[in-house]
Each structure stands twice: as C-alpha cells, then as structure tokens.
C-alpha cells in the first residue's frame, strides 16, 4: 500500500487510503482529501469524514464494528484459495479486498465473518459458490475463468506474435487496462495459445481477430475494438 501522503492538511494522491486504525480526532487537522481511489474507514469515522471536503475520490468503503481483526488486501495481487481459510485467525475476523485480486485455486474454506470487496476479483469458476456465500458487500465485479494457471496483466501493453510463440500450451489471459494485439498475430496463433480471455478495460486488435476474441472472452467489462491492418491501409 502507498504511504499516507499529507501536504499541509491535505491527504492526496493515493490509490487506497487506509483509515481503519484512525480515530475521529486523528482527522481533526485534515481540511481536504483529493485524488484518492478508495477510502477504507470504520463506521465510527463516517461523521468525521463527511465534514472533510473531498475531490476526485472514487469510493468510500465503511467497515462495520468487529471484535476480530481486519485483514486488508490492496492493489494488484495474485493469491490462492487458501487465503480465504484464515487458518491462524479467528472466525470473527474480517477480510477487506480493495483493488484487483486474482484467485488461482478453489476456495476450500472461508474463515472470515465478513468479506468486503471494493474492486475486482477474478476467480476460477469452481470457486464461485464459496465466493457468493462469503462476500457480504460488493462494490465492483467478480469475474470467473475456467482455464488453468491464468496470467494477469494490469496497465497498458502490446502483445506481438513473438510473445505468443514463447508460450507453451495455451493460457487464460486476464487483461485489466488498455491492451493491444499486434498486426502480426493471427487466428491460428490465438487458437493455439489462448484458452480464454477476461477483458476489464479495452482490447484493440486487427479487425479479422475480433470475432475470435469475442468467442474466447468469457468476461468482458469494457470493449474489444477492431483496428485496420496497417499493411492493408498502406496498399490503399
């Protein structure tokens, strides 16, 4: 998690602002909160937060009182299903997820009283029943994939044929952000190397690949955009 940045009496420029351990008096000197993706705060802090002017704040997640501990997962993370078991914790503990989390295996047990999600969870289809039963509050999306060993890509990138040639077998690709498939990527390569796609954001690709990409995409929270082949354009 990013370090809490305070400029004078302003808290600013954070992906996640964690106020779980704060008390109302700790915010008495704060006059503004700006450029923050998610604020996570206990319900006891709601009144103090409402008094502080906010600018460019994505969402606020309030945490109910709990006699247990709060485990916070933030950012872009990959975890296995065992993370939900909370083997060394208490049944009264709470799990808060803020960001993009990809779960790589089935969830055998849930050892948290509550699971609160603000962001995206990408999980295997076989974990769906456990997640639906565990998540008590959701602000965002849960997307499921069926392939094995998914690869998570966050941000911006371009994938060429050379990239796919390095892949052994086929894979599930989870794309969060803005991505592009190069003009040298063809349908034969995609059929051989990609089992399925999860698209959260935008994926640009040559027009001839769009139908196959639509078929391979099991979850689409965004857009698949066709682009003209550069070689074809130069011949016109």
Q: Is residue 6 pLDDT above 60, yes or no? A: no
Residue after which a domain boundary falls, among 81, 116, 145: 145
User: In whole angstroms, what is the distance from residue 74 CA to residue 95 CA?
Assistant: 11
Same domain as 134, residue 82: yes
Q: Tell me: the pLDDT tens digits for 171-223? A: 889 898 999 999 999 999 999 999 999 998 999 999 999 999 999 998 898 99
Q: 151: which strand partners?
A: 173
> Three-state SS for 63?
strand
Find the Cα–Cα–Cα–Cα dihedral 192, 198, 204, 205, rounded to 10°: 20
Q: Does any domain span residue 22? A: yes
Which pLDDT score, from 0 to 100, does residue 39 have?
92
Are the beta carbons of 52 and 32 closer than 8 angstroms?
yes
Model confidence band, residue 229 (pLDDT cutoffs 50, 70, 90) = low
* CB-neighbour burial class of residue 129 (10 A; exposed 0-12, middle 13-18, buried 19+): exposed
Q: Does any domain span residue 231? A: yes
Look at residues 180, 185, 129, 134 and name the one whose alpha carbon lies nearest to residue 153: 180
Look at residues 181, 191, 185, 189 and name the one whose alpha carbon lies nearest to residue 215: 191
Domains held by the chain: number: 3
- Residue at token pair 């302003």: 10
Are the beta carbons of 70 and 96 closer than 8 angstroms?
yes
Look at residues 182, 178, 104, 190 and name the one whose alpha carbon lies nearest to residue 148: 104
Which pLDDT score, from 0 to 100, does residue 234 have?
38
Strand boundaries in 80-230, DSSP class E? 94-103, 114-124, 135-145, 151-159, 171-181, 194-206, 217-227
Whether the CA torsion 83, 88, 91, 96 is positive or negative: it is negative
* CB-neighbour burial class of residue 6 (10 A; exposed 0-12, middle 13-18, buried 19+): exposed
Q: Does any domain span residue 133? A: yes
> Three-state SS for 179?
strand
Q: Does any domain span residue 39? A: yes
Model confidence band, residue 5 (pLDDT cutoffs 50, 70, 90) = low
Look at residues 178, 220, 171 and name the one whose alpha carbon lies nearest to residue 196: 171
* Residue 30 token pair: 């704060």
Same domain as 78, residue 58: no
Same domain as 231, residue 155: yes
φ and ψ at residue 82, rounded to 5 degrees = -65, -20
Q: Does any domain span residue 200? A: yes
Residue after which a domain boundary falls, among 99, 119, 145: 145
Q: Does any domain span residue 1? A: no
Same domain as 117, residue 74: yes
Residue after which a domain boundary falls, among 63, 85, 108: 63
Q: Tell me: the pLDDT tens digits for 66-105? A: 889 999 998 888 899 999 999 999 999 999 998 888 898 8
Q: Does any domain span residue 187? A: yes
Same domain as 136, residue 79: yes
Same domain as 123, residue 82: yes
Same domain as 83, residue 59: no
Q: Is residue 236 pLDDT above 80, yes or no? A: no
Q: Tell me: the pLDDT tens digits for 17-59? A: 999 888 888 888 899 999 998 999 999 999 999 999 999 998 8
Q: Tell me: the pLDDT tens digits for 129-182? A: 999 999 999 988 888 888 776 788 888 999 999 999 999 888 889 898 999 999
Which residue range is the domain that position 36 belongs to?
Answer: 6-63
* Residue 78 token pair: 């990959």
């Amino acid at each position: 998690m990013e370090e809490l940045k305070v400029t004078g009496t302003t808290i600013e420029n954070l992906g996640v602002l964690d106020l779980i351990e704060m008390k109302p008096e700790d915010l008495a000197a704060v006059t503004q909160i700006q450029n923050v993706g998610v604020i996570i705060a206990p319900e006891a802090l709601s009144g103090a937060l409402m008094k502080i002017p906010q600018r460019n704040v994505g969402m606020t997640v309030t945490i109910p009182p709990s006699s247990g501990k709060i485990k916070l997962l933030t950012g872009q993370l990959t975890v296995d299903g065992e993370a939900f078991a909370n083997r060394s914790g208490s049944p009264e503990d709470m799990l808060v997820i803020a960001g993009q989390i990809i779960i790589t295996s089935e969830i055998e047990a849930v050892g948290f009283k509550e699971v609160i999600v603000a962001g995206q969870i990408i999980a295997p289809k076989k974990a769906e029943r456990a997640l639906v039963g565990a998540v008590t509050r959701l602000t965002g999306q849960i997307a499921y994939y069926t392939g094995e060993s998914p690869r998570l890509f966050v941000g911006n990138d371009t994938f060429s044929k050379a990239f796919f040639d390095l892949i052994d077998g086929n894979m599930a690709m989870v794309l969060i952000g803005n991505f592009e498939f190069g003009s040298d990527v063809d349908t034969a390569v995609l059929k051989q190397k990609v089992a399925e796609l999860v698209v959260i954001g935008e994926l640009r690709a040559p027009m001839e690949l769009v139908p196959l990409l639509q078929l391979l995409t099991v979850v689409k929270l965004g857009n698949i955009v066709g682009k003209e082949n550069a070689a074809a354009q130069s011949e016109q």
